[in-house]
Amino acid sequence: MNKICRLTIFLAFLFLASNLVAKEKGFTAFYTEHATIFYQDGVSKDRACEVGRDFEIAYKVVGKDLGYPKKKPRFYLYNSGKDMNDDLINNWGHGNSAITKYRLIPQMNWDYIAWIPPNGGIDLVAHEYSHRIMRQIADLDFLKKSMWFNEGVAEYTGLKALAVKDTGSASSKEKEWLKNVISAYRDNNLIPFKEMMTDDQWMRFFEATPSSGLNYSQDQWNHFFQTGSLPGLNYNQSAVAVSFIINQYGFDKVKKVLKMVGKGKPFPEAFQKVYGFSQEEFEAQFKAYLAGLDMKKIEATSTLILVFTVTTPVCQFN
């Protein structure tokens, strides 16, 4: 190897090393068994430990259904949405359009899983982590062309993880989903699945009109930056639809769809091949299911969710 080549490699190494230092400057590392969590100066160790425990539950819940990561994930904990924005734009090189216009979390890469806001719970941790595993199976293109399915699976796994930690909260959340979706069905306001397919279609819900119930107020955006959660029929409907299809046909078929998409088959074709009916035919099944639900009976009962026990990890700080 000649001197110029060795010098080029050395300079490239220095560049990469300086990038890593810049990204982690102002953060302290916390290690769980299966993840590294960087928490910003000002975020407490107790909060970092809580997120670490939540992730270890999510790791097992998501792993049971979807599989495990090829690379140890990283999470970043910020003091505020502004701190997150500044870090993503200034240190990670993300464009600011999604952040400033839609106020959304940018697409994840193999180093950066998700920001976890100050009051973000285990359901958010599992939701974002499941996107990582789905991308590992089906690639990023899938995530942008089957949004209702992609987000529905993430919401479903988030609920399952929440049920491990707090069954009562999971039951309340599921009832809220059902209440919103049943109401939309009865008012003829369900969103056609074909209008929740692409990333661009999904983004439009964040600019929706007041009549759609999706025009977020400043208070709702503030809530988002504290919890990572926004109200919206698109999320609720996708979550209930995916929960319904899993309860009817099992989770294994979800993974079969992902694997087919990962091999290059378009999502609508993969969906029909695995389930034996089209997305449009499923939509009719879903409406029939909603028509048979009685919200009063749902409110009066405890929703049972199949979960499994996990061991709470011990926190270790460097």
pTM: 0.82
CA distance 75 to 147: 23
Q: What is the pLDDT of residue 58?
A: 95
Give residue 285's pLDDT band: very low, low, confident or very high (50, 70, 90).
Answer: very high
CB atoms closer than 10 angstroms to residue 271: 24
Least confident stretch, 112-116, 148-152, 171-175:
112-116
Q: What is the pLDDT of residue 119?
A: 78
Asked whether residue 40 carries a pLDDT value surpassing 80, the answer given is yes
Give residue 166's pLDDT band: very low, low, confident or very high (50, 70, 90).
Answer: very high
Q: What is the pLDDT of residue 14?
A: 29
Residue 218 tokens read as: 């400043």
Q: What is the pLDDT of residue 74?
A: 84
Q: Determine what percent of the chain is predicted with pLDDT higher than 90.
A: 45
**CATH hierarchy code of domain 25-317:** 1.10.390.10
State pLDDT tens for residues 76-132: 888 877 787 787 778 777 666 555 544 445 455 555 566 777 778 899 899 989 988
Residue 130 tokens read as: 């499941």
Q: What is the dihedral of CA 56, 46, 108, 173, to 10 degrees?
A: 70
Give residue 26's pLDDT band: very low, low, confident or very high (50, 70, 90).
Answer: confident
Give residue 147's pLDDT band: very low, low, confident or very high (50, 70, 90).
Answer: very high
Q: What is the pLDDT of residue 22?
A: 35
Helices marked H in the chain:
3-24, 45-65, 81-90, 97, 122-138, 140-145, 147-165, 167-186, 199-204, 218-227, 233-249, 252-262, 267-275, 279-291, 295-300
Q: What is the pLDDT of residue 4?
A: 41
CA distance 132 to 153: 12
Higher pLDDT, 145 or 240: 240
The winner for highest mean pLDDT among 22-36, 104-118, 141-155 is: 141-155
Query: Stretch 195-204: mean pLDDT, rounded?
Result: 86
Mean pLDDT of the chain: 79
Query: Stretch 144-173: mean pLDDT, rounded?
Result: 92
Length of the chain: 318
Asked whether residue 236 carries a pLDDT value surpassing 60, the answer given is yes
Q: What is the pLDDT of residue 61?
A: 95
Give residue 232's pLDDT band: very low, low, confident or very high (50, 70, 90).
Answer: confident
Q: How far is CA 202 from CA 154, 195, 206, 267, in A?
A: 15, 8, 8, 16
